[in-house]
Amino acid sequence: MNITFKIIFLLSMSGSLFAQNSFKQQQLSFERVKTAYSDKWNGLKKDLKIKGINDEFQMYIVAYKNEGKLEVWLKNKNQSTYNLFKSYEFSAHSGTLGPKIKEGDRQTPEGYYAINAFNPQSNFYLSLGVNYPNQADLFRSGKNKPGGDIYIHGNQVTVGCIPLTDDKIKEVYVLATEARNAGQKEIPVSIYPFRMTNENVKSKLSLYPQQKLFWTNLQQGYAYFVRHKKPPVVQITNGGYIFKS
């Protein structure tokens, strides 16, 4: 995704640099974020209360390419497991099932990532950066340029990102801002080709047999998530992932 004017707040900023609420205040200095809060925050707060989520929550994003679904999972800070809060439809698709290999292949990545940037002045309304490529992606790309600039963003076009409508990205962006502001330095993002049940994996591998090793690896993390309702703890290795209990 080409962005001509990019203002990014890196999530790796030390908490000592900013007092409580300063991240949200910085974000609210941008008109689109201010509009997103005006349009969505009151309704979201009501939904949070119904779900038993307090003011300081943590966030986990799970996306399924084949289903075109992005799920937002939330938990209170003192809880160990997440609960599904909302689900959003992709507004467009590109590429096929399987990981992103190189720049320009129009593929949406598959694997384990985190939000690493907030862009309140995106060419695609609002956007949240995903830290692709990781070490596994770089290994898989070999001598090819792996590409980058993978975002969850507004608008209804994509060449490998995860697009939502402008209306829906407002909600996701506000929730991410609140989670970051409450002290969550890393918002995990798991991108799966599909819901990785044994039946689905068997069915899809009949169409994409070249993905057997990769998808069998991803399925371990998916099974952990389904069982424990939280993101798997992963160690990224050359070409894959090791999951820690």
Q: What is the DSSP string of 39-106?
A: HHHHHHHHHHHHTT--SSEEEEEEEETTTTEEEEEEEETT-SS-EEEEEEE-S---S-SS---STTS-
Three-state SS at 4: coil
In DSSP terms, which residues pair with 46 in a beta bridge?
none
Which tens digit of pLDDT belongs to each residue from 152-211? Answer: 999 988 999 999 999 999 999 999 999 999 999 999 999 999 999 999 999 999 999 999
For the chain, how long is the longest CA-to-CA vector? Answer: 53
- Number of C-beta neighbours around residue 222 at 10 A: 22
Q: Give residues with Cβ within 8 angstroms of 31, minimum separation 6.
A: none
pLDDT band at 20 (very low <50, low <70, confident <90, very high): low
User: Please, what is the average pLDDT of the chain?
Assistant: 92
Which tens digit of pLDDT belongs to each residue from 50-78? Answer: 999 998 999 999 999 999 999 999 999 99
In this predicted structure, the answer to whether residue 14 has a pLDDT above a threshold of 70 is: no
Percent residues over pLDDT 90 in the chain: 88
By annotation, the residues acting in catalysis are: 153, 161
Question: Any idea what DSSP says for residue 156?
Answer: S
Contact of 116 with 129, CB cutoff 8 Å: yes
Contact of 136 with 239, CB cutoff 8 Å: yes
Query: What is the C-alpha separation between 182 and 38, in angstroms, rounded?
Result: 19
The pair of structure tokens assigned to 55 is 């003011």
Fold of 9-195: L,D-transpeptidase catalytic domain-like (2.40.440)
In this predicted structure, the answer to whether residue 4 has a pLDDT above a threshold of 60 is: no
Which tens digit of pLDDT belongs to each residue from 125-154? Answer: 999 999 999 999 999 999 999 999 999 999
